Structure 1
Amino acid sequence: MSRQEDDHPHVFPQGRRPGEILFVTVTMMIALALLAAIPWQTTWLPGKGLAAQPRFWPALSLGGVVLFGLINALSRVRVTRTPGRWQEAALWLRSLEFIGWYMLYVLAIPVIGYLAATLAFCAGLALRMGYRGRTVWIAAAFGLFVVLFFKTAMNVKIPSGAIYDFAPEQLRYILMRYF
């Protein structure tokens, strides 16, 4: 029984993937910037061992990102690259939209309340992702479950919305406490 090379996927592909070196470079630059900021962000505790120092584990992790990124870049730089680097980078930038969605959600909670913001966030993201009909209702039900679980069942303290001030006094306490 002969085995053909094309029957199995390559664990280590022959060509570079689009945006691979760009990704490694950006990741290493961010890690180097964070590594350079460690002396200003942490302190050295006298009398503590190296592993107990606040900056040791973050520095080790960031150093690992830089080291392994450098090894990856050096091992892949001579490999034939696949075109499409900037299309891949544009795709990464498009995904930043969802950070904006989350920031809008966080800013909406103190204004319209946790319940309304979470329902709007879940349903809005479902619509944004192209879902329609029943799936949007499932997303809204998930949002209601999240609110009931965190605010009611787990008693997580989340600031109530300013809109709750317009509710009748008896209803205001229930909205602020459970929703």
Structure 2
Amino acid sequence: MHCPDTETLRKTARKNGIKQIIYLSGIIPDHIPQEQLSRHLRSRLEVERVLGSYGVPVTTVRAGLIVGPQGSSFPILAKLVRRLPVMVLPKWTRTQTHPIALSDVLLALKNSIGNTVLNGRAIDVGGPDSMSRWTAQQLLLSCLMKRASKTNAINTGPSLLHHAAHTAQAIYHS
């Protein structure tokens, strides 16, 4: 895999005397052979390997699904849940994750800076709960429906979405 941005980072880091690179990645399941990982996770592992092969120590922080209003996953997921009455979810939404608050990820990144014990290592950070991304979407839906009912907004979407979610759940578990 050719990673021109990674190569640029490596050269810049060496030229400027950077002593450590901290790479935020995703949790890699232990029980799945690498060739069976999603393309996304395989690419994350490749970037990790490329960064580590150039002589600047790399610490990889592998996070579960990062949640919070300022995270990237949360707004995308919220927008999907609000706008689509029905979603056909791909197989990867069945994979387990350990959702983690954005503030906890930032703390893990901060604690990695200058920590030479973590050089060349990957650490997993995730919340205590394990759930599928599908379940995370269901929880978000539930929260959004509660918020909508508190504002007394008339919105037929969530009730349709709620019905669709139960239908999808029946299909998912069959």
What range is the shorter-chain TM-score in?
Answer: under 0.3
Relative to the length of structure 1, the TM-score reads 0.25
Name the TM-score, length of structure 2 as normaliser. 0.26
Instruction: Flag the structure with higher helix content.
Output: 1
Higher Cα radius of gyration: 1
Q: Name the structure where strand makes up a greater proportion of residues.
A: 2
**Larger RCO (CA within 8 A; separation ≥ 6):** 2
